[in-house]
Amino acid sequence: MRQKQVVTFGEVMLRLSTPDYARIVQATQFDVTYGGGEANVAISLAQLGLPAAHVTRFPDNELGKAATNLLRKYGVDTQHILYGGDRLGIYFLETGASVRPSKVVYDRSDSAFAALEPDMIDWDEVFADAAWFHWTGITPAISAGAAACCQKAIEEANKKGITVSADINYRKNLWQYGKAVEEVMPELMAGCDLIVSGLGDAKDILGITPKEAAEEEAHISVFRQIMDRFPKIKKIVNTTRGSVSASHNTLSGMLWNGEQLLETQTYDITPIVDRIGGGDAFIAGLIYGQLQYQDDQRSLDFGVAASVLKHTIKEDANLATVEEVEAILGGNTSGRLVR
């Protein structure tokens, strides 16, 4: 029997990145691709062999067609994409090295996605073949219309018994349309079954702070408070990143299921090829694990290993296979030639 889809919803932007670690101020050309947090999740899941669909809105021009083609190229269902509006959002990426961090410059105002209205998307139709719905805190930050669309999607998913996950990442500079994050996000989070949240997100969005000082106890304290406030949320996950330099990070993960805090080993990632989309690769791997394994520890381990692999892959999305992730889980991190 065919597996049901994971549906993702969010803006896709044109990514212009400087080649060969050049700075934006010295760049004479840019490498071109397309990416967005939620679409990255859909692409990653499609590469792992799960049916995935992405819902967004593109301008009806060559850029919108090119972005659609990229999603199709990697096996994502694009039948629910809308076309209209004036422009595709852009972000410029300057890739850092050693002690110089990477930098992102956004040019996304008045995008086709920002002009979305709630009645434009038939979520009943979108979710006809869905088992899971994923969104991020970036979407409701873009515009009131995008936030309302997200709310309708969550409500419809809840009606249909579809699992809802969210990476509630807070981007202060995006909230510019007159609503504060604390006015919008709690209602959306109330419909979620699983979220990605760090201590900073919990404080900035919900005003929740740890009641304990030690790191593990601090996380448990915050996760308990979140679950007390939002009873539907049954699992909270997060990654911990250590930054030795722009080219050398460490990464581990944790999952709170209401009873125990599960943790992974810590990976050493050096040199980093492209860290954009690392968090998206993590949640995609975790969703894959939840659907395939029904085991929290195995899902968490798979998600972190998938994220580690993403750091070795250029562009936004994780193009790793299940076999490659499982090789990392099996301890094969030597990077030896395969032939």
List, by residue number, the catalytic residues. 280
Q: Which of 131, 129, 135 is nearest to 185 (CA)?
A: 135
Three-state helix/strand/coil letters over the chain: CCCCEEEEECCCEEEEECHHHCCHHHCCCCEEEEECHHHHHHHHHHHCCCCEEEECEECCCHHHHHHHHHHHHCCCECCCCEECCCCCCEEEEECCECCECCEEEEECCCCCCCCCCHHHCCHHHHHHHEEEEEEECCHHHHCHHHHHHHHHHHHHHHHCCCEEEEECCCCHHHCCCCCCHHHHHHHHHCCCCEEECCHHHHHHHHCCCCCCCCHHHHHHHHHHHHHHHCCCCCEEEEEEEEEEECCEEEEEEEEECCCCEEECCCEEECCCCCCCCHHHHHHHHHHHHHHHCCCHHHHHHHHHHHHHHHCCCCCCCCCCCHHHHHHHHCCCCCCCCCC
Whole-angstrom distance, CA of residue 288 vs CA of residue 204: 29
Q: Which of 65, 73, 81, 67 is nearest to 125 (CA)?
A: 81
